[in-house]
Each structure stands twice: as structure tokens, then as C-alpha cells.
Amino acid sequence: MCGFIGMFKNDALLTLEDKHDIEKMSALISHRGPDQNACVFHAHAGFGFRRLSIIDLSGGDQPYVSPDGRYTSVYNGEVYNYLELRDDLIKKGEKLYAASVVVLLHL
């Protein structure tokens, strides 16, 4: 089962120590997903994600950053109509970077 962690600082920027803490928190949940470990940092927030690949073994990496770099998402769950949603987004001209994950940031 995948796992994710995060830190948000409303009134301050993330420090180098905060970034190290996020990486340590991600390491603590390594048992949740051995297939991918990734951390993303923004000015006020950081996310870590551990992935257990079940569907789309070669794609679907997270955290997902929107094409313009403004938004970051971590998601653990199942979107049961993802194929239909994915096809609709492609028909609208969206470029998706994974076969199985409908990236909610595109919606």
C-alpha cells in the first residue's frame, strides 16, 4: 500500500532542516511502498511519497507536479472510471504522463 507524508508552513518558508525532516519522515514509511521514493519541495510545503506499484508499473510516479509547476498532488486511492476520464482528457488535448493515473490537477 502506498503512503505519503507532508509538511506545510503557512507563515514561514521551508528550511533546509525541514527538507531533511521530510526526507526522514518518508524513510520511516518505506515499508508502505518499495517501488518509488520521491520528495517535492515548494516554498511553504513539502511532500514525500512511497509507491507500491500495482497498476501501471512503469508510470504513475508521484508526487505529481502540474505542467506549469504551480500545483503538486499526492494521491492514494482508486478512481474506478479512470480509463473513461483519461480518454476524455486526451480528447480535450491534455497530455497525460501516466497510463493509469488520471491526474486530478488536469480537471
> Among residues 1, 2, 64, 102, which one is catalytic?
2
Distance (Å, rounded) from C-alpha 13 to C-alpha 91?
39
Paired residues of 3 in beta bridges: 50
Q: Positive or negative CA dihedral for 27, 32, 37, 38?
A: negative
39 annotated active-site: no
Which residues are the active-site residues?
2
